[in-house]
Structure 1
């Protein structure tokens, strides 16, 4: 089953689905600044656009471009800034 998710006043939208490898979301973020919390380990891959991310326990923001990915452990918070519409694939473990 595919589920439709919307967050931050509809500025972040995703489609959630499950494969034999696990669950994932495919989404798009409008320009803005967001704080996310994790319940599972996440691998976030930027498909198009760019994310500037403040990872947990980091003091400096890191930039991730299309084709690049970063990982977040379960039960963490992280911040994301996007300046143009940006698409992503997030896989959960």
Structure 2
């Protein structure tokens, strides 16, 4: 495995907009959902490299996404965000 570069994970408590930096995450899902999330992350990385996309939402690729039943995952392109600040 390659050496891991620095990254951060942020989240918010249910029904709040208060963003907090997290030390760890737990994903509670079945195997099919985990594969969908993995595919989303891989495809998002490809889009970011090819097009300098700033961010991508998981909810935008899931047809039946519901805020009552699902959690959005937002991937943010560190290279784009840090160069624009």
Q: Judge same fold: TM > 0.5, yes or no.
A: no
Q: Which has the higher strand share?
A: 1
What range is the shorter-chain TM-score in? under 0.3
Q: Which has the higher helix share?
A: 2
User: TM-score, normalised to structure 2's length?
Assistant: 0.25
User: TM-score, normalised to structure 1's length?
Assistant: 0.23
Structure number with the bigger relative contact order (C-alpha 8 A, sep ≥ 6) is 1
Max radius of gyration: which structure?
2
